[in-house]
C-alpha cells in the first residue's frame, strides 16, 4: 500500500497511468461499453465492481488533464431522438472542476461514432460496472509541471 494514493487504484492501473505520456488517452467505460473489442489494441483494466464516478474521482487525483487542448475530457453525445437522461454528466463535471481550473469547460462532447474512433486509439480502457447510460468518458493526459 502507498500513502496518498486512492485505494481503488490497483497496481495494474497505477502502472498504466504512469506509463501514459502527454496526449495519451484513456477511456472509462460504462458497463455497456465494448471495452474488449474497442480496446483490442489497448490495455484493458477490469474494474467491474466499481462505478464510473468513483473511478474518475480516483484517477483525477493522480492524472493531469491536458492543458494544450480545449476539451481534454470527452463525453459521448446522446443520439438524436434517444430519450435517455444523463444525470451522471453533472457528477463528471463536478469531479473535473475539482481537478482542473477550467472547470466544466474542460468537458466536451462528441458524436457516438467519433467517440468510438477516439476510443479505439486510446492507450487504455477501464471497464467499470457503471449502469448509467452514456456514462463513457475519455480523458487526455497532460504534463506534470
Active site residues: 22, 66, 116
Strand ranges of the sheet holding 124-128, from the earlier edge strand across to the other edge: 43-47, 124-128, 25-29, 137-140, 73-76, 107-110
Compute the distance between CA of residue 99 and CA of residue 137 in angstroms, rounded to an integer: 15
C-alpha distances out from residue 129 to 29, 33, 53, Å: 8, 10, 11
Compute the distance between CA of residue 3 and CA of residue 12 in angstroms, rounded to an integer: 17
The count of C-alpha atoms lying within 13 angstroms of the C-alpha of 60, restricted to the half-sphere facing its C-beta, is 25
Amino acid at each position: 500500500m502507498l500513502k496518498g494514493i486512492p485505494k481503488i487504484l490497483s497496481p495494474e492501473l497505477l502502472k498504466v497511468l504512469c506509463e501514459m505520456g502527454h496526449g495519451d488517452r484513456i477511456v472509462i467505460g460504462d458497463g455497456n461499453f465494448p471495452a474488449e473489442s474497442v480496446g483490442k489494441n489497448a490495455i484493458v483494466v477490469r474494474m467491474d465492481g466499481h462505478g464510473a464516478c468513483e473511478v474518475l474521482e480516483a484517477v483525477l487525483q493522480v492524472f493531469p488533464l491536458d492543458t494544450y487542448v480545449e476539451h481534454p475530457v470527452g463525453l459521448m453525445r446522446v443520439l438524436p431522438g434517444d430519450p435517455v437522461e444523463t444525470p451522471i454528466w453533472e457528477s463528471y463535471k463536478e469531479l473535473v472542476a475539482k481537478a482542473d481550473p477550467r472547470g466544466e469547460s474542460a468537458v466536451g462532447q462528441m458524436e457516438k461514432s467519433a467517440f468510438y474512433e477516439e476510443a479505439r486509439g486510446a492507450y487504455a480502457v477501464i471497464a467499470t460496472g457503471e449502469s448509467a447510460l452514456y456514462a463513457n468518458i475519455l480523458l487526455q493526459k497532460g504534463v506534470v509541471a
